[in-house]
Amino acid sequence: MQKTHNTLAKKIRVQSVELLNLHLAAAIDLHAQMKQAHWNVRGPGFIAIHKLFDQVSTEVENYSDMLAERAAGLGGTAHGTIQVAIKESFLIPYPLGVADEMKHLFAVSAALAAFGGSIIEAIAKSAEIEDPTTADLFTEISRGIDQQLYFVESHLAPKTIDPSKES
């Protein structure tokens, strides 16, 4: 850990940096997955989905920056190399060889949802270790991921819902 005037106890900072680096690895992986989809999508809705995936990748890249800068600001080292991301990411690998826009939409939404679910857990973990600023950062990322997931899922054909069967 680097020397800092940050007022959080070193024990809290160490735990937060570890949590931030875990999600940094996944965010780097997620960014690459979004670019994979962006570069390879094909279908009738190509241009809209191609641009959407590029927008999502830009947002995710911004989250990587936020996570890395918070880790560094706490006196830690941001572990943001591709090699670390490959080793540490908890996301399932993106399917290669996919061209169909619906398959990409499904894979992208699944990756966003998995990342978002882990971010929710990170909010609780940050609060538990008494780092409200890091919890707030994860909350901001959670809101953004939810919005990106909404944009992506809006391109999937809606299912008809029988109101009598809703619970």
123 is a domain residue: yes
What's the number of CA atoms in the CB half-sphere (13 Å) around residue 165?
A: 3
**Residue 166 counted as domain residue:** no
pLDDT band at 160 (very low <50, low <70, confident <90, very high): low
Supply the pTM of this predicted model: 0.91
Residue pair 115/91 in contact (Cβ under 8 Å)? The answer is yes
Q: Which CATH number do you get for residue 144?
A: 1.20.1260.10
Residue 3 belongs to a domain: no
Q: Specify the pLDDT at position 2.
A: 85
Dig out the tokens for 14 from the structure: 């160490």
As a whole-number percent, the residues of the chain with pLDDT over 90 amount to: 87
* Per-residue pLDDT tens over the stretch 70-79: 999 999 999 9
Number of structural domains, the chain?
Answer: 1
CA distance 55 to 14: 33
Domain that holds residue 114: 10-155
